[in-house]
Amino acid sequence: MGVDGPACVEVVVTAESADWLAAFTRRLVEDRLVACGHTMASIRAIYRWEGRVHDEPQARVGLHTRAALVPEIVARADEEHADDVPCVIALPITGGNPAYLRWVYEETREPGPTPS
């Protein structure tokens, strides 16, 4: 728990397919790795990869979870994501509605193997 409540983060994940990203988010919610995800189906990614500048449509999700679960989310993205190096970053939540942050914490599980 943080100073004002649970230690929570927003994990940002991007992907080429909005449908894949929504399904990935649903699996994370079902497995209690995240409490929820807010998706944006249309963003534009401009980046350098393998010596070329790319400019293409993508989707983005902001996942709300416990800070301690970030390594498991990164591992899942590494296993399931189509990109060689998926964008998965965790941003600290330094404040907010204590009741919401408590809900995020209660809707997620302790780190470790998925319970049966």
In this structure, what CATH number is given to the domain that contains residue 45? 3.30.70.120
Q: Which residues of the chain register pLDDT less than 70?
A: 1-6, 114-116
- For residue 49, tell me if it sits in a domain: yes
This prediction has a pTM of 0.90
Amino acid identity at 65:
T
pLDDT number for residue 113: 74
- For residue 111, tell me if it sits in a domain: no
Interval 49-75: pLDDT, tens: 999 999 999 999 999 999 999 999 999
> Which residues does 62 contact at the CB level (< 8 Å), separation at least 6?
10, 11, 12, 37, 38
- For residue 3, tell me if it sits in a domain: no
Which residues form the domain of 64? 8-106
Residue matched to tokens 């699996």: 27
pLDDT number for residue 112: 84
- For residue 115, tell me if it sits in a domain: no
pLDDT number for residue 74: 98
